[in-house]
Amino acid sequence: MTAITQEAAVAVAAPPRRRAARKRIQGAPALFLAPFALLFTVFFLVPIGYAIYESLYRVHVSGLGLGPTGTVFAGFANYTQALSSSGFVSGLERVLLFGVVQIPVMLVFATLLAMLLDSAAARFQRFFRPAFFLPYGIPGVIASILWSFLYLPGLSPIVSGLKTMGFGSVNFLGVHTVLWSIANIVTWEYTGYNMLIIYAGLQAIPKELYEAARMDGASEWKIATRVKLPMVFSSVVLTAVFSIIGTLQLFSEPQVLRAVTTNISSTFTPNLDAYTQAFTANNPNEAAAIAVILAVGTFILSFGFLRLTSRRGGLGR
Amino acid sequence: MLAESTVRPERDPAPLSRTRSGRRPGPVYTKGSILTTAILFVVGIYFLLPAWWLVVSSTKGPSSLYSSEGLWFGHFDLWRNLTGLFTYNGDIYLRWLLNTVLYAGVGALLATALSAAAGFALAKYEFRGRELIFSIILGGVLVPATALALPLYLLMSKVHLTDTYWSVFLPSIVSPFGVYLARIYASASVPDELLEAARLDGAGEFRTFVSIAARIMSPALVTIFLFQFVAIWNNFFLPLVMLSNQRLYPVTLGLYSWNDQYGQAPQLVSYVIIGALVSVIPLVIAFLSLQRFWRSGLTAGSVKL
């Protein structure tokens, strides 16, 4: 290669040429970074900027919609409109309620499973671990389609099974139950994935720690709660942050279930609302405002959660 | 591979701890172990039951789907379903599969290459603004994909790029999380001395990266690939807003559109079911066989957090 012979020449040549080589090293990080940086700018930073810009403007229609249209600066009008519309607010409340219930349930479930798999008492780990992880390999849309069949009376073996067991006809798609049916889909999809993160944390704990605890007379329960749990705390925090981000974005599951039930409105979650505003209501400006509110909300919640827990976790570490 | 050697030793703690806690060597079926296994078994049913239903139902025609026992086989129509799936509306389903390979497979591959180069630069070179750039990229990890999709759509429609392959493909090859993982891994595992030695031997920076650093980083690169593959394959919102031409759909969007129509065309129920099964099988196999990369990557990620 010519590059190599050149470099070799540089190595034996006079000092000025060596300086040239150093200069090339200085240029290298820029070249390595450039492709990513360019795409990151175009597909991350510019859209964020554009969303903020769009959210501050509004289409102005004059003369009964027949006259010329133009955009006018609207300040925070799109934001106040979104935040005062009952659809958006109830959608936001709905995902918050969903998160407050579903995230702890799923993470406790995942932590318990990880601990059970990690414990000496568990058998057939080689079968159970992949079995629990399998749903994560199924994309959200397909998982939702699958579960929508399992919720549908006439098709679902679960509905008919519950009936023969004497529970009557359970309606998974009712006004009050459909949110929790969605929670079940999300739990089914992500428990195994979260379990794997926590399990990885458990496996990294040096086994001498357990030995030492046992020597001190700690029971298995004490070891689980006083040694294992604090040690995997940072893994659980990681799963919680991923879950918070995911919950606020809730979209595919309710969107898919709309095919089988009328109890999911077009503003069921904030993201559904944004989608409706942009494509059905033809109001991209308010949709942009909703996207910005969601992104900022996600950022504040996940970052706040990290700050909160890192202070607590700092003591344990 | 590196991950194998680092992950393997901690992979099988069971035999050791079993003798420790059970006092007697060999498998001991204590009350605790039976209870634990029973719990795991019940949980296993919860996770596997829908998959089982999918397998069973894909062998049934539309009529026996409703009439036969849900969790057991009825009239065996698997071949008819399969041929129906691949011939319905021309070769549209095959098209969707190929599109998915393109979006998720090629997309993740490119994303990995970009992330690796950027992560390596951020880990191994000193330059002004390095930490600032890294912080901005890290902020990008927390920006949800769906929040980006709408403004991206609005932008792309300005330049008439919506409803093209590029509109889904290009945004998919940017992975801030990949850069984050690549940087952590590179700074922890690629020794400066090795890079220095390569430079002294006269290798250019690009060659040093490709033939030395990237090779050491390969376990992390597999993890990045997997993460991005799943992220693209799971990103339903982006293709939904961008694409209206059915022939550009990934398989998820295609099945979703069938699922929305089966009220009008009853045979589509069977195609949705068998289509879901066919699209998921290769993925599930790849997933389960690459499990250890998930764990190694996830540990690297959580250690730093």
3-state secondary structure of A1: coil
Question: Which residue in chain B has the smallest CA separation from A193?
Answer: B294
Calculate mean pLDDT across residues B158-177.
95
Residue A65: both structure tokens together = 């919609």
| Per-residue tens of pLDDT for chain A, all 317 residues | 344 444 444 444 444 444 555 555 668 888 999 999 999 999 999 999 999 999 999 887 665 656 566 788 988 999 999 999 999 999 999 999 999 999 999 999 999 999 998 886 667 888 888 899 899 889 999 999 999 999 998 888 888 888 888 888 889 999 999 999 999 999 999 999 999 889 888 888 888 888 888 888 888 888 888 889 988 888 898 889 889 989 999 999 999 999 999 999 999 999 999 999 999 888 889 999 999 999 899 889 988 888 888 765 443 33
Count of A-B CB contacts under 8 Å:
311
Residues 100-159 of A with CB under 8 A from B: 113, 116-125, 127-143, 145-150, 154-158
Residue B214: both structure tokens together = 């990237």
Contact across the interface for B236 and A35, Cβ inside 8 Å: no
- Rounded distance between C-alpha atoms, residue A172 and residue A170, angstroms: 6
Q: How far is A57 from chain B (nearest CA, A)?
A: 14
Task: Work out whether the CA dihedral A100, A105, A110, A112 comes out positive or negative.
Answer: positive
DSSP A50-95: HHHHHHTEEEEE-TTTTS-EEEEE-TTHHHHHHHH-HHHHHHHHHH
Instruction: Yes or no: say if A44 and B140 are a contact pair by the CB < 8 Å rule.
Output: yes
Q: What's the pLDDT tens digit per position in A235-257?
A: 898 889 889 989 999 999 999 99
Its pTM stands at 0.85
Contact across the interface for A54 and B154, Cβ inside 8 Å: yes
Percent of chain B with pLDDT over 70: 86
Instruction: Yes or no: say if B2 and B295 are a contact pair by the CB < 8 Å rule.
Output: no
Contact across the interface for B71 and A211, Cβ inside 8 Å: no
Contact across the interface for B118 and A203, Cβ inside 8 Å: no
A3/B151: higher pLDDT: B151
- Distances in Å between the Cα of A299 and the Cα atoms of A192, A204, B144 are 25, 30, 9
Residues of B whose CB is below 8 A from A46: 155
Nearest to B233 by CA among B97, B111, B100: B100
Name the least confident of B60-74, B253-267, B290-304: B290-304
Quote the pLDDT of residue A225: 87
Instruction: Yes or no: say if B217 and B120 are a contact pair by the CB < 8 Å rule.
Output: yes
Quote the pLDDT of residue A62: 64
Terminal-to-terminal C-alpha distance of chain B? 25
Contact across the interface for A33 and B121, Cβ inside 8 Å: yes
A170/B110: higher pLDDT: B110
Task: Flag whether pLDDT at B295 surpasses 90.
Answer: no
Task: Work out whether the CA dihedral A314, A316, B4, B6 comes out positive or negative.
Answer: positive
Task: Flag whether pLDDT at B234 surpasses 50.
Answer: yes
Contact across the interface for A44 and B140, Cβ inside 8 Å: yes
Calculate mean pLDDT across residues B139-158.
87
Residue A41: both structure tokens together = 């700018």
Quote the pLDDT of residue A68: 60
- Rounded distance between C-alpha atoms, residue B116 and residue B107, angstroms: 14
Contact across the interface for B14 and A291, Cβ inside 8 Å: no
Q: What angle do CA A247, A288, A306 make, to 5 degrees?
A: 35
B23/B37: higher pLDDT: B37
Nearest to B275 by CA among A52, A102, A139: A139
Is residue A72 less than 8 Å (CB to CB) from chain B? no
Is residue A213 less than 8 Å (CB to CB) from chain B? no
Q: What's the pLDDT tens digit per position in A109-142?
A: 999 999 998 886 667 888 888 899 899 889 999 9
Residue B7: band (very low, low, confident or very high) from pLDDT cuts 50, 70, 90: very low
| Candidates B20, B118, B146; nearest CB to A33 | B118
Quote the pLDDT of residue A33: 94
Nearest to B113 by CA among A105, A174, A184, A39: A39
DSSP B222-283: HHHHHHHHHHHHH--HHHHHH---GGG--HHHHHHHHHHHTTT-THHHHHHHHHHHHHHHHH
Residues 49-68 of A with CB under 8 A from B: 50-51, 54
Task: Give the per-residue SS3 of A156-181.
Answer: CHHHHHHHHCCCCCCCCCCCCCHHHH
Contact across the interface for B291 and A133, Cβ inside 8 Å: yes
Quote the pLDDT of residue A63: 58
Task: Flag whether pLDDT at B26 surpasses 90.
Answer: no
Tell the residue number behind the tokens 């009350």, with chain if given.
B31
- Distances in Å between the Cα of A67 and the Cα atoms of A74, A284, A286, A288 are 19, 20, 22, 25
Calculate mean pLDDT across residues B123-147.
87
| Candidates B21, B140, B303; nearest CB to A40 | B140
B229/A18: higher pLDDT: B229
Is residue A237 less than 8 Å (CB to CB) from chain B? yes
- Rounded distance between C-alpha atoms, residue B299 and residue A235, angstroms: 8
Contacts with B133 (C-beta within 8 Å, 6 or more apart), sequence order: A33, A37, B122
